[in-house]
Structure 1
């Protein structure tokens, strides 16, 4: 995971203590900022001689995200997937902390900026990785259920102060039959270049905070959304799909209106999360309107 040239970062004393308690008294040293990590306090550190990534959160939603990430990484720890290893999960009254192993590579957005010619290779690797994720048979262990998030978002819509036509479009999206799936598969939940590391022709899939058990179609729809939102070359989508199918990807892709329903449903779930953050809410309303007009 790429460190940045930001000023020397700091960990709150409570977080340092939680990390030290989880590592037998070893304090986090050699702190460095990481690329991304916008939703939590995220730093690279050396703990007990091992390079790690420390993620910490205080707000209830973000703490729940980190608990969910720890649960999913634990469940997937023996799967052989290209994901960061979970090293520790700790909490006190104010903070939740997750520590994972450090993984080499640059964030996918850095690769986009510096080596756009590598994108076909990156998306081929992402397709193979995601197909492997979707084939995992989840074990019991408290993993989040996508259906519960859909239900929560449906219940929140009326209180979000949205324009009537947008609220109706989001409600219709959340009512789609596509959210129901015969078998609950592992779903990453926030797939895209922003959550991958690319290094020496290999890929690591990061940030499992929104992972859940549900329909893998959400990951495909959201990847399509990120391609469109970032205005990436049109050929990357069929290229990704061909590589995903060749790697044994599971679902049959729905018609364009079905893809749009999944995209809008994801945005509805995000709006339910940020309902008390006016700037974030306004931005996701803007993205929802863009999605309604996005040509698929």
Structure 2
């Protein structure tokens, strides 16, 4: 990928690709002051606009990295934002540091309930996509018909709630954690939607990837969320929104290779058969 535009705008810097939780192609601009990263999207990728507008909405909130600039060249879009010092939150789970992990799941509940979901669609003019409870499974030809029928059964649910800001892929994997703080990164799936979109995905994530700890960590997260919110969270609703988030991904991978599709069909079936905390 040609990054000449970055070197022109930020001379005397060295570009280093980052992993550690960042999605897409993310570069650290070593030597910049303040230290910043560039998140690079294909110009045709509409997720860039969602991330730009979400970060702009949250700028200087402390919830997300502070955005500095946005520009494009012939092929790519570039979002320039603060480099956040710390460790990806999922790493503490992977390393078995349960004391820190419990603290992180409390922070997730506080951040989500009191600083993200308090931002209401009706009070904002920010141009973000509307994310509904998804039930468009009939068009997914690669999903077995038996699973489609089960999906329709679980999504036959009526929930009314003001739309709030949602992250779209919320969880420890999209946080940078330091000693006493947590910053939420990777907002390209951000939008306006029901708060359960984020709540269900956080619970789904820990059940799928960390079954030995899922009940305890889900309880910590949900209990903390409820301290800061009056939102009713039921088992039925968590299941429905978890399925909806999986459908969102299935729609995104329609043209992926067969191995990716097979894995996400497996995850859909697992979601249908799993009992989540509510």
Partner of residue 116, structure 1: 98
Partner of residue 83, structure 1: 64
Partner of residue 282, structure 1: 262
> Could you tell me the TM-score, scaled by structure 2's length?
0.88
Instruction: Please tell me whether residue 36 in structure 1 is matched to residue 24 in structure 2.
Output: no
> Cα gap change, 1:173/1:146 in structure 2, threshold over 3 Å: closer, same or farther?
farther
1:1-296 aligned at under 5 Å gives the runs 12-13=1-2, 15-17=3-5, 19-20=6-7, 23=9, 26=11, 28-37=13-22, 39-46=23-30, 48-58=32-42, 60=44, 63-78=45-60, 80-114=61-95, 115-131=97-113, 132-138=115-121, 139-147=124-132, 150=134, 154=136, 157-174=138-155, 176-178=157-159, 180-181=160-161, 183-230=162-209, 231-233=211-213, 234-246=215-227, 248-254=228-234, 256-278=235-257, 279-296=259-276
The answer to which structure has the higher helix fraction is 1
Q: CA deviation at 1:140?
A: 0.5
Q: CA deviation at 1:173?
A: 4.7
Q: CA deviation at 1:42?
A: 1.5
SS at structure 1 position matched to 2:71: strand
Q: CA deviation at 1:289?
A: 0.8
Q: CA deviation at 1:174?
A: 5.0
Structure 2 portions without partners, runs of 5+: none
Q: CA deviation at 1:170?
A: 3.1
SS at structure 2 position matched to 1:45: strand
Deviates more, 1:130-139 or 1:259-268: 130-139
> Could you tell me the TM-score, scaled by structure 1's length?
0.83
SS at structure 2 position matched to 1:242: helix
Count of aligned positions: 269
Deviations 1:248-282 (A, max 9, x none): 2242102x222111111110111001110023222
Structure 1 portions without partners, runs of 5+: 1-11
Distance 1:46 1:202 in 2: 23
Deviations 1:156-181 (A, max 9, x none): 63243210011223344555323x42
